[in-house]
Structure 1
Amino acid sequence: MLTIYHNPRCSKSRETLALLEARGLTPTIITYLTTPPSADELRVLKQKLGFASFRQMMRSKDELFKELGLQEPSVSEEQLLAQLVAHPALLERPLVVKGEQARLGRPPEQVLEIL
């Protein structure tokens, strides 16, 4: 099963979806701003991405990231996770999941590694 955590307003997200569709793939599309992932789902995504920190899954250049002080080293992993749950717009996009692997579509071609 192939899944994309998608934001239709994001050009990289649209490019990644188009890249998948051009290869004849029809991923399950999760519009994560309207159907946000739970804390448990985010934990699984982090593991599948192979990331050490939730911070790696976050839009660190986003104004909200800075306003919430999430760049501070003193912010714990549980605090980062809580902010991702509370503010799904902080999730870096797009995320593509296939089986036990996931990739961030920045650049979009990076998702090809798991296909």
Structure 2
Amino acid sequence: MVTVYEKRTCTTCRQLSALLAERGVDAERVEYHVEGLREDELRELLRKAGLRPSQALRMREDGAGELAAAGDEEAIVAAMVARPELLQRPIVVNGDRAVLARPVERVLEIL
């Protein structure tokens, strides 16, 4: 089962949803910015995607630049847990692999 961590109002997330529908891929959807993520969940997502926390930091959000400049990966994880909107989206998980689907076609790497 494919799982998509998304924000449904996000343009990129909607594009990903359309791409998955075109391919006939059924996906479980997690609105992580509403539900939040536990630290262990976040770490597992990042591990599967092969990303450092700083690579998944959504730079458009308030405070992201300061976090990135500090270079403290642990502080970034803590901030993402406290403020899920700091995590880039969409992230797609398929089994033991994940990808930050930016651009959305990156999802094809794990399907």
TM-score w.r.t. length of structure 1: 0.90
Please, which runs of 5 or more residues in structure 1 have no aligned partner? none
What amino acid sits opposite 1:5 in the alignment? Y
The CA RMSD measured in Å over matched residues stands at 1.2
Q: How does 1:1-115 map to 2 (within 5 A)?
A: 1-51=1-51, 53-66=52-65, 69-72=66-69, 74-115=70-111
TM-score w.r.t. length of structure 2: 0.93
- Paired residues, what number? 111
Identity across the alignment (%)? 40
Q: Tell me, in whole angstroms, the C-alpha distance in 2 between the residues paired with 1:62 and 1:36.
A: 16
Shift of 1:77: 1.9
3-state SS of paired residue (1:34): helix
Please, which runs of 5 or more residues in structure 2 have no aligned partner? none
Q: Tell me, in whole angstroms, the C-alpha distance in 2 between the residues paired with 1:111 and 1:59.
A: 19
What amino acid sits opposite 1:82 in the alignment? A
Q: Tell me, in whole angstroms, the C-alpha distance in 2 between the residues paired with 1:24 and 1:9.
A: 21
What amino acid sits opposite 1:102 in the alignment? A
From the two aligned structures, give the one with the greater helix fraction.
Answer: 2
Shift of 1:37: 1.4
Q: Which runs of 4+ in 1 moved over 4 A?
A: none
Kept in 1: contact 2:61–2:85 (CA 8 A): no
3-state SS of paired residue (2:92): strand
